[in-house]
């Protein structure tokens, strides 16, 4: 495999009882996935785990080993249920320290907001040797230790941290995608899709059915890092759908 073909992968660990209870709908999976695509990195797997030292530790040690990057969201705030730093330090066998730079950021941020209390100082705790990920939203920084990136759980704060990381991570060729939407039951074109994928070895074709306005439809998403082959697959699919007498919508429905 040439360097250009190397596929860079990432994993995400979503940490939080609030997701597993159904109370909070996660938005970070889609947010990180979309951001990673632009960096030329593929989100290969996600785990959602409870606020539990061992569950977090197990996930981080497996996922950081088998991916280029391992992200976490959640559990880095000031309250007792924020245990991500402790769990990851334990998993990496590192002590937890008060990071001097993080402490300075928080002191500055809380000067006009009631001062840096003991609880707020918790947000300056990092595994030893960590670097900070700037957070222009709420002061408390994200944390990088090795290939593990600890980010906030609140989506707009996570977004700010991703902005700070944009262009900083090495990736490969971005995965390109084209979508064709069609108001048909996907089963009607299952054979066509299979044959087009077979004939285009560098493309994956996904079929995503839906039911809206009282009728069945599907979006067909073709993905590839090879622009020419992607276009060929799109053209073949559009020709096939037209020949079979189906209307379709480039860009998806």
Please give the residues from 180 up to 219 whose contact with a copy of itself meets the rule CB under 8 A: 185-188, 190-191, 193-194, 197, 204-211
Question: Nearest approach, Cβ of 210 to a copy of itself (angstroms)?
Answer: 7
Question: Nearest approach, Cβ of 78 to a copy of itself (angstroms)?
Answer: 4
> Could you say whether residue 114 binds a copy of itself (CB under 8 A)?
yes
Question: Nearest approach, Cβ of 95 to a copy of itself (angstroms)?
Answer: 22
Q: DSSP string of the chain?
A: --GGGPPEEEEEEEE-HHHHTTSS---HHHHHHHHHHHHTEEEEEEEEE-S-HHHHHHHHHHHHHHSSEEEEES--SSSTT--HHHHHHHHTT--EEE-HHHHHHHHHHHTTTT---HHHHGGGEEETT-EEE--TTTS--EEEETTEEEE-SSHHHHHHHHHHHTTTS---SPPEEEEEEESS-GGGGHHHHHHHHHH-TT-EEEEEEEEETTEEEEEEEEEES-HHHHHHHHHHHHHHHHHTT---EET--
Question: Nearest approach, Cβ of 151 to a copy of itself (angstroms)?
Answer: 14
For the record, the structure tokens of 31 come out as 């947010």
Candidate residues 55, 97, 169, 253; the one interacting with a copy of itself per rule CB under 8 A: 55
Candidate residues 6, 7, 40, 45; the one interacting with a copy of itself per rule CB under 8 A: 45
Q: Closest CB to a copy of itself among 48 and 173?
A: 48
Q: Closest CB to a copy of itself among 151 and 157?
A: 157
For the record, the structure tokens of 179 come out as 């979508």
Could you say which residues in the range 122-181 bind a copy of itself, by CB under 8 A? 122-123, 137-138, 154, 156-157, 175, 177, 179
Q: Closest CB to a copy of itself among 2 and 115?
A: 115
Q: Closest CB to a copy of itself among 82 and 145?
A: 82
Question: Nearest approach, Cβ of 243 to a copy of itself (angstroms)?
Answer: 18
> Could you say whether residue 103 binds a copy of itself (CB under 8 A)?
no
């Amino acid at each position: 495999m040439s360097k250009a073909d190397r596929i860079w992968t990432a994993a995400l660990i979503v940490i939080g009882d609030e997701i597993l209870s159904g109370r909070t709908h996660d938005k970070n999976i889609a947010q990180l996935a979309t951001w990673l695509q632009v960096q030329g990195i593929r989100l290969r797997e996600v785990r959602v785990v409870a606020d539990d030292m061992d569950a977090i530790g197990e996930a981080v040690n497996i996922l950081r080993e088998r991916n280029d990057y391992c992200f976490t969201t959640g559990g880095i705030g000031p309250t007792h249920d924020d245990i991500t730093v402790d769990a990851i330090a334990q998993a990496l066998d590192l002590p937890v320290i008060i990071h001097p730079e993080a402490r300075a950021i928080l002191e500055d941020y809380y000067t006009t907001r009631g001062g840096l209390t003991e609880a707020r100082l918790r947000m300056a705790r990092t595994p030893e040797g960590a670097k900070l990920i700037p957070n222009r939203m709420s002061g408390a920084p994200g944390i990088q230790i090795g290939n593990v990136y600890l980010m906030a759980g609140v989506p707009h704060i996570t977004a700010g941290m991703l902005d700070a990381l944009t262009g900083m991570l090495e990736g490969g060729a971005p995965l390109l995608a084209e979508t064709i939407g069609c108001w048909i039951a996907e089963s009607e074109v299952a054979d066509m899709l299979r044959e087009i994928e077979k004939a285009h070895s560098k493309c994956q074709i996904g079929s995503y059915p839906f039911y809206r306005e009282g009728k069945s439809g599907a979006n067909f998403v073709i993905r590839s890092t090879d622009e020419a082959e992607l276009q060929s697959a799109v053209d073949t699919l559009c020709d096939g759908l037209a020949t079979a007498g189906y209307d379709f919508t480039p860009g998806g429905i």
